[in-house]
Amino acid sequence: MRELWKLQRHRPRSTSVAAPIRLAFAPTAVGAVILIAALSACSPTTGPTSPPSTSSNPSSSVTGTPDAGDVRGRLAAGLRDSSPANASLVENPKSSVTPVPATWLPGWQILDVVNLTPPHPRRVHAALSDDGRALVLSGQPDSFSTVLAESGVSVDSAAVATDVAEVFLDSTHDFVTLSYRVDEVGDIRWRPKLTAEQERVRDQVISAYGDEVAPAEGTPASGGWTVTAWTVTGTDLVRHQIGIGADGTIVDKTETVVSDLPVPASS
């Protein structure tokens, strides 16, 4: 559990001996065209805007003119050299900058930056240290491990381990593909109109995984914790076994248990 989490830029691969269930489903031609158009509209620093992290507190959104003394100004300054496009996003007065609660993270804060201005809504998660250092987290899970290591975070309970894992999943996906955590199969966002075959697929998933998909839960493991969590990533239902070491290092082992769900791959 000493290696850093490695980013998987494509469909998560099963790390289990059991092969994932692959359901027979093919999007309609119209659906494919819509999806291609939605994804092609996004730049590397943009993407489909999924709902804010469940741990976010919208009422704490930082507003006002960027200034070196406030969070918005410090975050923009910290990103200016390494990620100028995201620095500009932060400085945009139409962007909200919302702290993500993480009381277990000393010396740093995680910020959720959202701009819903059409035609290209944009969103990014970043971490900001007390001394003004900033790291992009979206699509950069290794940066999350860096933040944990440098903060000296103490993961001393199952509750803390669970919250660390949830914030990790919420803040490190890249928004190129829609991804969100699910605590039960009822959280899966099915397409609003399903064919008879797609309804069969939906019912099969609910029957097979209704008792298995559950909220993230941490359990003690050698030298740290293991947190089991679930996401829908693209059109896949993915099980995560997130190992969190005592020193904050994270290893996320993923298994795609169902592919080709009749769900939107972007929003």
Q: Is residue 19 part of a domain?
A: no
CA distances from 53 to 31, 256, 257 (A): 27, 22, 23
The CA distance from 250 to 240, in Å, is 12
Q: Is residue 94 part of a domain?
A: yes
**Domain endpoint, select from 102, 122, 153:** 153
- Examine the domain organization and report whether 183 and 244 are in the same domain: yes
pLDDT string in tens for the chain (267-residue length): 333 333 333 334 333 333 344 443 333 333 333 333 333 334 334 444 444 443 433 333 444 444 545 999 999 999 999 999 999 999 999 999 999 999 999 999 999 999 999 998 999 999 999 999 999 999 999 999 999 999 999 898 999 999 999 999 999 998 889 999 999 999 999 999 999 999 999 999 999 999 999 999 999 998 899 999 999 999 999 999 999 987 778 999 999 999 999 999 776
- Examine the domain organization and report whether 203 and 242 are in the same domain: yes
**Domain endpoint, select from 153, 175, 206:** 153
In the block, tokens 């309804």 appear at: 199
- Number of folded domains that form the chain: 2
Residue 13 sits at φ, ψ, to 5 deg, of -100, 150
- Examine the domain organization and report whether 134 and 167 are in the same domain: no
The CA distance from 1 to 18, in Å, is 22
pTM of the model: 0.75
Can you give the residue range of the structural domain that contains 215? 162-267
Cβ–Cβ < 8 Å for 97, 61: yes
State the helix-helix crossing angle for 141-151 and 158-172, rounded to 10 degrees: 140
